[in-house]
Amino acid sequence: MKKSFRIAVAALALVGAHVSAIAQPIPIFGIVELSGSGTTAGTNYDNGVKLAVAEINAAGGILGRKINYTSWDTQTQPGVAKALASKAIDQGAPLVMGPVYSGSILVSMAETRRAEIPNMIGGEAAAITQQGNPYVFRASFTQASAMPKVVRYIKEIVKPKTIAIIYVNNDFGKGGRDMVLKGFEAANIKVVADISTDVGQVDFSSAVIKAKQSGADALFAYSNEEESARLLKELKKQAYDKPVIGETTLANDKVIELAGDAANGVVAHVGLTPDAPNPPVQAFAKRYLAEYKSKADHNAMKGYTSMHAAKAIFDKIGKIDPKAFAAAMHGASISVKDYPGVLFDVKYDDKGDLDRESFIVKVVNGKPQVVEILKPAK
């Protein structure tokens, strides 16, 4: 009788421990740029993650467990990002969100890789997924996939024989510049000015003078948001009258807010835009505006879609297992029909890069307007 009683008690204890483990929140950490030059990008990314977490928790969480999301400020400093990645690992994170800036990612992802923890990141530098890291996954196009789309548009629509490039001299800027240079060469578009600028640069007069003196038929501009706005103001000041084309950070709402009417006429390829003619995107944009009293941008969409994609993968594997999660992400396809929070049908490859719809936008009267929808490559 006593033996049976002890067995019953032990069984109940095991059941209780199992139930307790299931009920415990899942600790997910964000390492994001909440101060420094990346404040806007990091804050919006973080807000997107938080909105997704609130939605997922309201619907019952992941596998019956709520998410306990905590974000920490990298100060837009790679060394701080690395330390925070280690801190997240030490606190038992099965998943790390961020950073957004490529320079920080290239440092911090070494820590998550060492610990074999999946890392959903917001950066675009091609080098991030060229190092064979099986634990890093993008929320946006790599430069290697985005730049050919930009070059195609420039070649087919703008049709310049020559072009000037103005780029920011950091990992993000150099990566994009290197990729677009290859594209221009293949498209037989001659680069007649290759102009480097600094992170945080205020005065762009010299850069614009060089672009004008080159006689280029068009300008490709690739920089961070604040610098892009200053560049556009200087282009207007000097009455630059050639087409100006770029990527997301040339034509998003933050740039338009800072540049004012100097942004009008700019054309950019964007992987994510809250202006997409897509019902799930429009619903997300309304919820974001209601929650944060500001318009969502591509960084907010990165954070939001990444968190919903993570839920989809955890649901698929049926457990909170970092290694199994990483394995399942490679080659995964997630449908917006099954998981509306991913906003677009998306497919990941074996390197952690993704493919989905993207857009060409033009700034008209202070607003980015979608002028072309680009289908996924496959």
Average pLDDT over residues 70-87: 98
Q: Do residue 136 and residue 163 come from a single domain? A: no
Q: Do residue 245 and residue 289 come from a single domain? A: no
Task: Report whether pLDDT(376) > 90.
Answer: no
Task: Spell out the alpha helix ranges (H) of the chain.
Answer: 2-23, 39-58, 78-90, 102-114, 143-153, 171-186, 205-213, 225-237, 248-251, 253-259, 279-292, 298-317, 322-329
Q: Do residue 154 and residue 262 come from a single domain? A: yes
Task: Report whether pLDDT(20) > 60.
Answer: no
Q: Do residue 169 and residue 105 come from a single domain? A: no
Q: Tell me the C-alpha distance between 366 and 298, whole Å.
A: 17
Q: Do residue 89 and residue 181 come from a single domain? A: no
Task: Report whether pLDDT(279) > 90.
Answer: yes
DSSP 187: T
Percent of the chain with pLDDT over 70: 94
Structural domain boundaries enclosing 29: 12-141+277-356
DSSP 116: T
Q: Tell me the C-alpha distance between 99 and 347, whole Å.
A: 21
Would you call the peptide bond into 340 cis, given omega within 30 degrees of 0 as the criterion? no
- Is there a domain that residue 189 lies in? yes
Write out pLDDT tens, residues 108-149. Answer: 999 999 999 999 999 988 889 999 999 999 999 988 888 999
- Is there a domain that residue 2 lies in? no
Q: Do residue 285 and residue 188 come from a single domain? A: no
Q: Tell me the C-alpha distance between 32 and 58, whole Å.
A: 24
Average pLDDT over residues 353-374: 93
- Is there a domain that residue 75 lies in? yes
Which of 270, 288, 305 is at the close of a domain? 270
For residue 259, the domain's CATH number is 3.40.50.2300
Average pLDDT over residues 322-347: 97
Task: Report whether pLDDT(5) > 50.
Answer: no
Q: pLDDT averaged over the chain? A: 93
Which of 216, 242, 270 is at the close of a domain? 270
Q: Do residue 244 and residue 326 come from a single domain? A: no
Q: How many domains does the chain have?
A: 2
Q: Do residue 132 and residue 17 come from a single domain? A: yes
Q: Do residue 130 and residue 17 come from a single domain? A: yes
Average pLDDT over residues 204-224: 97
Q: Tell me the C-alpha distance between 307 and 47, whole Å.
A: 11
- Is there a domain that residue 137 lies in? yes
Q: Do residue 254 and residue 304 come from a single domain? A: no
- Is there a domain that residue 368 lies in? no
pLDDT computed for residue 17 by the predictor: 44
Q: Do residue 258 and residue 154 come from a single domain? A: yes
Q: Tell me the C-alpha distance between 68 and 24, whole Å.
A: 9
Burial class (CB in 10 A: 0-12, 13-18, 19+), 365: exposed
Which of 270, 296, 311 is at the close of a domain? 270
DSSP 155: I
Tokens, residue 325: 């999660």
- Is there a domain that residue 363 lies in? no
